[in-house]
Structure 1
């Protein structure tokens, strides 16, 4: 799709498109979603006090999303593959801020050191390098600093033609909120609705010691998506102190 087509496909958005010009294009491709329903009190320890934890049927969720970032670039510049294409894993939860619902990252890992440095300097998001390898049916990571590990072997199955309310609640998010110093950085994004497939997991090892209280047992929900093309606006800094 062209950027114009992405911007025009906006009927599913929960609020109007930003009026300011967009700043970045990127693709989130071949994404594996692992979702857990979690304990509110345990999650609250990890989320800034000025972000409200979003709930569905009274419960909070945390998701681990493993995908490949591709073609990320500023609006008027081409992508540079050695930096713009890299594997990424993020651990996120769902929050509300300034009358919008969005995601908050508990962790972001990238598979290229230089890409992490560039992404962190531009976005102020907490990128860190992890060793990541992926093949057609396996995604494997290790972060030496925290000893975080993921190893999933899987097979992609049929598409999901009718998503549940929970499916959409977990994936259709059009804002990101991240704490940085005495501020919350807010980002608006736009993409078409995620196409989804079921996935058959052959082997799964998720070991994030810092989030041991959250990743307890097998995920409550799993999805796969071939990906979406994403338009992103620049960060808006909201002082909180």
Structure 2
């Protein structure tokens, strides 16, 4: 029996585990755990004075700023096609809606996302994210629907012991935007391939000794114009932060496949 050559074995590994789309060889040698698809996504961001957000990060992280301003984002989206790499998706557990509140941080020169909260609709997914990925996921009820270019999201946090929060927004998706260029605000806000977390209980864990960094792999975000026609939210206020003023910076995005790497203690 003829043995597989190293090249054919690597190709078979790529086909079974990572499927399409193909990525350069260095990427799929990393220990990625999970594949997902993110769709119906909206980035909504407001500039915030750095001193307002600094207390919400562990001392080891540096708050990432753009031209002197920190940024606070609210991001609703649908996560689907969820499956561990190399295994089939589990019916009923491969789809959820998520709504996160985030800012940005760096450690040792590596930029990433810092989440204040991640509300999600799948109870087992919330448990797994809190237990295995140390992320501050919270139970919520959420509906995200789309008719043509108009999307509507409605959510209510249901997590026991957490500050209540509600969200209701409608937005329209417009024309495609050029790829975000390094050095631009769009690139700063969207092209983030790492995340940081100190544990699932944010107020307590940011003062603890633990800090993890995770890595995501995906193509550059296919951004589009977006316009919000209605917005009612207490998500940011649930963290004790003031209500943002002014119009948010908005980007919608086309669906994107995402690979999730194991977290590493840093």
TM-score (norm 1): 0.88
Relative contact order (alpha carbons < 8 A, sep ≥ 6): 1 or 2 greater?
Answer: 1
Could you tell which deviates more after superposition, 125-134 or 206-215? 206-215
Matching of residue 227 in structure 1 with residue 255 in structure 2: yes
Residues 1:131 and 1:219: Cα distance change in structure 2 (over 3 Å)? farther
Q: Tell me if the contact between 1:36 and 1:214 (Cα under 8 Å) persists in the aligned partners.
A: no
Q: Does 1:138 align with 2:152?
A: yes
Shift of 1:161: 2.5
Q: Is the 8 A contact 2:81 2:94 kept in 1?
A: yes
Cα separation, partners in 2 of 1:124 and 1:211, compared to 1, 3 Å: closer
Please state if 1:8 is matched with 2:8.
no
Q: 1:228 Cα deviation (Å)?
A: 1.4
Find the counterpart in structure 1 of residue 119 from structure 2.
Answer: 109
CA apart distance, 1:121: 2.2
1:85 to partner: Cα distance: 0.7
Residue in 2 that maps onto 1:158: 175
- Which aligned pairs between 1:187-202 and structure 2 lie closer than 5 A? 187-202=214-229
Does the 8 Å CA contact 1:110/1:128 hold for their aligned counterparts? yes
Answering whether residue 85 of structure 2 is matched by residue 75 of structure 1, we say yes
Residue 174 of structure 1 and its aligned partner are, at CA, apart by 0.7
Counterpart of 2:48 (choices 15, 38, 51) is: 38
Unaligned runs of 5+ in 2: 1-17, 200-207
Select 1:148's aligned residue among 147, 162, 165: 165
> SS of the counterpart of 1:8?
coil
Instruction: Determine the structure 2 residue equivalent to 1:170.
Output: 189
Alignment deviations for residues 132-188 of structure 1 (CA, whole Å, 9 cap, x no partner): 011112101111442211111122111112546111110001111111352111111
Q: If the length of structure 2 is used for normalisation, what is the TM-score? A: 0.80
1:218 Cα shift? 4.2
Deviates more, 1:161-170 or 1:65-74: 161-170
Higher mean displacement: 174-183 or 86-95:
174-183
Deviation string 1:72-117 (CA, Å, 9 cap, x unpaired) is 2221211123112100011111100132101111101101222211
- Structure 1: where are the runs of 5+ without partners? 10-15
Q: How many correspondences in the alignment? A: 232
Q: Deviations over 1:25-74 (max 9, x none)?
A: 11111101110101111101111111100111111111111001112222
In 1, the alpha carbon distance for the partners of 2:196 and 2:179 equals 29
